Structure 1
C-alpha cells in the first residue's frame, strides 16, 4: 500500500512518540522494585509522548485543531480538521511492564473519521486506515475482520473498568451472560489494540462502554475499513462520541448486540 502524505505524517508522529515510550517503558521495569512505584514516572512518559505527537502534527498541519487525552482541546483555524490523540492507550499495562499499549491517532474531517494510526511500539506493529483505502498492517497486509459466524466459536474482547465506576454491576451481568455464549473473553487493557486486532481478525468481536473519543476514533475507522460493523449498545450506527462500542463482522456483531440488549 502506498501511504498518502497525510498518513505519512501520522505514522511518523506515532513512531517518534513510540520510541520515547519504549525508552521509558524500559525504565518502568526497573522502577517496579521501588517503594514509591512508577506511577508519577509513567504520567511524565505519557505527557512526553503527547508533546511529541502534538509537535509533529502541528508542524505538518499548523491549522488543524487537536483533541488530546492529556492536553484537552487546542483550537485550530482550519475549521474542518481535528486530530484526536491518545499518546499512551494502555497506561495500566505500561505501569505494570505489560507490553500491550499503543500510540493512537485519528483525523476527523467534519463529522467523519478519515484516517487513523494505532502503533504498538514494543511489538513494532503499525496499523493504519484511511477512508476508502482499507485498513493495513505494516503497509503490506490488508486487514479483514474474521469470518466466523457463531458466537460459540468467537473470541470476544471487552474492557472492565476499575472498581467504583457507576456501571460495575452491569459489567458483571454482561460478563456472566456473554461468557458461556462465546469461546472466550479477553481483556487486553488497550481498547485501541483491541480494535486493531479485531480489524486484523485476531479477535472476532468486542464490546465496551465508558469510552472517550480518543479511545474509539482510531479503531472505529480501522474496523469499518476492514469490513466490520460498529454500533452502540442500542444498535445505532457507532459514534466516537457516545462512549459505547459493539463491533465484529455483520453476523457476530448482530449476535453479540442481541446478547447485550437482553442484559438489564
Structure 2
C-alpha cells in the first residue's frame, strides 16, 4: 500500500519520538517524574516525546492546530485539520519497566460549516519496543506496516477475548466498571487489561482482541484507535450505541456481532 503524504509525516514523527522513548526506557530509573494528579504521572520522557512530535508535525504542516496531552490545545488555521497526540500512552507501564506503551497521532478535519470538528481521517499508533506501526486512513483501510488489518470474525462472546481498562486511584468509576465486569465476565473467554488504550484498539483492529470497552479516557487515547477499528471493518460506539468521530468518555468496540452483543451487556448492566 502506497503511503499518503500525511501518513508518511505521521510515521516519520512517531518513529523519531519512538527512538527517544526507547533510549529513555533503557534508563527509566533516572527519569524525572512529576505528578499531575492522583496516580497520574508525567515524566521527562512524555515531555520529550511530545516536543519531538510537535516540532516534526509543525514543520510539515505549519498551519494545522494541535491537541496535546501535556501542552493542551494550540490553535491553527480554523479551516485546516488538527493533530491529536498522545506522546506516551501507557506512562505507568513505561515507568514500571513494562514494555507495553505507544505513541498515538490522529488527524481530524474541521466541519465544512465551521461549527467544530468532524471526522478523524488519518491515524497512527506506534509501539516503539516492537517497532510496529499501525496506521489507518479514511476509506483506505487499516494496516500494520504493509499488511491489511481486519477485525476478528468471531461471532460468539464465549469464544471472545475482550480488552478493557480498570479504574484506579482518582480515575473512573469502580461501581460502573464492576457492574459491567459482572455482566461481561461470565459470558466471554477472557478479559485483559494491559494499560494502553491506543494499543488495545490497534490490537482489536488486528484481530488479537475481539472486543473492547472502557470509559473515562481522553481524545488523544482513542482518536487514532477508533479509526483503526472502523477501517478494519469494526464498529465503535458509546454505551448508548451512538457513533461519534472520537469516543473517549465511553467506548464499546468490536466486529458487528461482538459489538452488538457487548453493547447489550454493557447497557443492560448500567440499567440494572
TM-score (norm 1): 0.94
72-81 vs 154-163, which deviates more?
72-81
Stretches (4+) displaced over 6 A: none
What whole-Å deviation, never above 9, does each CA across 1:218-259 have from its counterpart, x for those lacking one?
A: 001110000000110000113425511100000000000000
- Partner in structure 1 of residue 99 of structure 2: 99
Residue 77 (str. 1) matches residue 77 (str. 2) = yes
- Partner in structure 2 of residue 260 of structure 1: 266
Alignment check: 8 A CA contact 1:105 1:218 kept: yes
Q: 3-state DSSP class of the match of 2:82?
A: strand
Partner of residue 39 from structure 1, selected from 33, 56, 65: 33
- Partner in structure 1 of residue 131 of structure 2: 124
- Partner in structure 2 of residue 158 of structure 1: 164
What is the CA–CA distance in structure 2 between the aligned matches of 1:164 and 1:59, rounded to whole Å? 37
Alignment check: 8 A CA contact 1:42 1:95 kept: no
Alignment check: 8 A CA contact 1:227 1:249 kept: yes
Residue 189 (str. 1) matches residue 195 (str. 2) = yes
- Partner in structure 1 of residue 50 of structure 2: 50
Gaps of 5+ in 1: 32-36
Partner of residue 133 from structure 1, selected from 131, 137, 140: 140
Partner of residue 114 from structure 1, selected from 118, 121, 131: 121
- Partner in structure 2 of residue 17 of structure 1: 17
- Change over 3 Å in CA distance of 1:2–1:68 after alignment to 2: same
- Partner in structure 1 of residue 226 of structure 2: 220
What is the CA–CA distance in structure 2 between the aligned matches of 1:108 and 1:151, rounded to whole Å? 33
Gaps of 5+ in 2: 35-40, 111-117
224-233 vs 69-78, which deviates more?
69-78
Q: 3-state DSSP class of the match of 2:269?
A: coil
Q: 3-state DSSP class of the match of 1:224?
A: helix
Alignment check: 8 A CA contact 2:204 2:211 kept: yes
What is the CA–CA distance in structure 2 between the aligned matches of 1:86 and 1:262, rounded to whole Å? 32
What is the CA–CA distance in structure 2 between the aligned matches of 1:247 and 1:166, rounded to whole Å? 19
What is the CA–CA distance in structure 1 between the aligned matches of 2:137 and 2:176, rounded to whole Å? 35
Alignment check: 8 A CA contact 2:222 2:248 kept: no
| Higher strand fraction (1 or 2) | 2
Alignment check: 8 A CA contact 1:18 1:103 kept: yes
Across the aligned residues of Structure 1 and Structure 2, the Cα RMSD in angstroms comes to: 1.5
Aligned length: 257
Q: 3-state DSSP class of the match of 1:262?
A: helix
Partner of residue 247 from structure 1, selected from 243, 253, 259: 253
- Partner in structure 1 of residue 114 of structure 2: none
Alignment check: 8 A CA contact 1:212 1:240 kept: no
**How far is 1:165 from its partner?**
3.7
